[in-house]
Chains A and B, each alone.
Chain A
Amino acid sequence: MRPIGIITQLLELIVALAAAPLFVGWINQCRAWLQNRSAPSLWLPYRGIRKLFHKDAVIAAGASPLFRLAPYMVFAAMVVAAGIIPSMGTRLPLTQVADAIALVGLLATARVFMSLAAMDIGTAFGTLGARREMMVGFLAEPALLMVIFVASLISATTALPAITEHLATQSLGLYPSLAFTAVAFLMVLLAENARIPVDNPATHLELTMIHEALLLEYSARHLALMEWAAALKLFNYACIGFALFIPWGVSTRGSAPVTLLASLPLLVAKLAVAGAVLALIETVSAKLRVFRAPEFLATAFLFAVLGLLVHLLLGA
């Protein structure tokens, strides 16, 4: 293991941990601007997390150890996931033990722990949220796997850094299959991160909420970890999207180590644009009824499968 690998790995983890709440803050700010409201500060998510860490935790009576364990598990899963996504460089030692399919598994682990913890307390809202989360999850996961399979087929590997390197270095061309899967991925991203067509991230009060219903019983440091993990999840999804669909500018295996420094501002630029686009999508679209969510995700799956079929048939 060469030092450049360790440096890349550490840098990516630090950037992910530090930038994830900032990314959420940026999306909230863009959304406020688009809705003609005065925007909250970019640093609001950090302040929220700091405030929560200073409070005393309240745990519901009858909570099992699983309830206390879940925030740490979810947070750890997201940090490991951040470590295996090539957001800045592809020389990542961690990726030798976990490929893209393992990444989907990590995200699923986090989801299962979150849902179990929400059901653990036994409140109506928690159980309801857990069921909905699993409903969204079991439909979104195959779509995400299909998206990854298309990229894997094109580059003949399931290791994420190799996929990114292959996609970044191949000749430019029109890839209908990648265009279809990009649409599918965007839909999965919206559904999995509790964004507007499927869930409303700005509400704590609706009967239709999914993500917030899972966190209702958490407080203090547990809630802080859960919220940080949610921000990390969004950041991870954005980085998976960059790795698959706009891989240019990532420091690849053959390039000089200095390119790692250049990839940081590029990542920031990509995130800024992605955040603005996400805010725009959330502003112009209305929330779907919960029963329409399967249809939304079936469409995402369809797009991914069409991408796969088009690639197999046309080789494009």
Chain B
Amino acid sequence: MAGVSLDLQLLNLCAALLLLLSFAMLSQRRIVNLVNLLALQGAVLFVATLLIAWRTHQAHLYLSAGLTLGLKVLLLPYLLHRLIRRLQVYWDAEPLLNISGTMLIGVLIVVFSFGLAQPISALASTATRNAIGIAVAVVLLSFLTMIIRRKAMSQVVGFLSMENGLFFGAMSATYGMPMVVEFGVALDVLVAVLVLGIFFFQIREQFDSLDLHHLESLREDAAARRAE
């Protein structure tokens, strides 16, 4: 790739790493490792944001890079680790699909999202427009993570990783969202994790487990089944 500047090469590398980390999350069975992967994804996102800020000389991007570092690399993983210790959930149950099958679906999703992002990339004018496809793929792969996991904990990690993908998509399509929106989203995510943390305790209180499978049956159904 002669003629491409080093920072753009680094940005491409970051995009590729984000995609790789999404796949690693998809295949990870231990929840502790899942949270570490999420923190790593946040760190890659932080580096990518810094690079874009340095490229485009936009001051507010430094701020959002700092926000990413503080919130997604340090605070949220810390909160999640504390939750894991308190709730004593270290392993996810066997996922709904086997790992190889999930990976194949993941590859199909990546191909699909690259196709989906093609017209958007054609319209965007940023130097990082090629990475939009990867951002869409990260969002959809996080969806897949949420779909195939049973435990509430891993679903929250999937949710947070989806937010990372959205952030990266906004970054590569338009060099970031307006500051107000970014603050709003960051606050939303923080509150969501706090509220979901309380939810976990409630779920465990009710069902003695964090397996969301138990939430599927309605109370009347369960009562009727018990009566039979």
Chain A residues with CB under 8 Å of chain B are 170-171, 173-177, 179-180, 294-295, 298-299, 302, 305-306, 309-310, 312-316
Contacts and interface: CB of A to CB of B under 8 A. Distances in A.
Interface in B96-151: 99-100, 103-104, 106-107, 110-111, 114, 130-131, 133-134
Contact of A175 (B1, B19, B107, B110): B1
Contacts of B16: 176-177, 179-180, 306, 310, 314, 316
A315 to B, nearest CB: 7
Nearest to A298: B100
A316 B99 contact: no
Interface of B: 1-2, 4, 6, 9-10, 12-13, 15-17, 19-20, 23, 27, 99-100, 103-104, 106-107, 110-111, 114, 130-131, 133-134
A240 to B, nearest CB: 23
Given A175-B1, A314-B131, A315-B1, A299 B13 contact: no
Nearest to B23: A302
Contact of A314 (B99, B111, B130): B130
B17 A176 contact: yes
A299 B2 contact: no
B99 A305 contact: no
A208 to B, nearest CB: 20
Contact of A316 (B9, B23, B103, B133): B9
Contact of B2 (A171, A175, A314): A171
A14 B99 CA distance: 44
Given A314-B15, A315-B130, A306 B2 contact: no
Contacts of B4: 173, 316
A309 B27 contact: no
Contacts, number: 70
Contacts of A306: 16, 19-20, 23, 107, 110
Nearest to B26: A302
Contacts of A316: 1, 4, 9, 12-13, 16
Given A174-B6, A176-B17, A314-B16, 6 more contacts: A173-B1, A302-B107, A306-B110, A309-B114, A312-B114, A313-B114
Nearest to B114: A313
A308 to B, nearest CB: 10
B99 A298 contact: yes
Nearest to A309: B110
A29 to B, nearest CB: 34
B107 A314 contact: no
B112 to A, nearest CB: 11
Nearest to B118: A313
Contacts of B103: 298-299, 302
Contact of A313 (B1, B104, B107, B134): B134
A170 B2 CA distance: 8
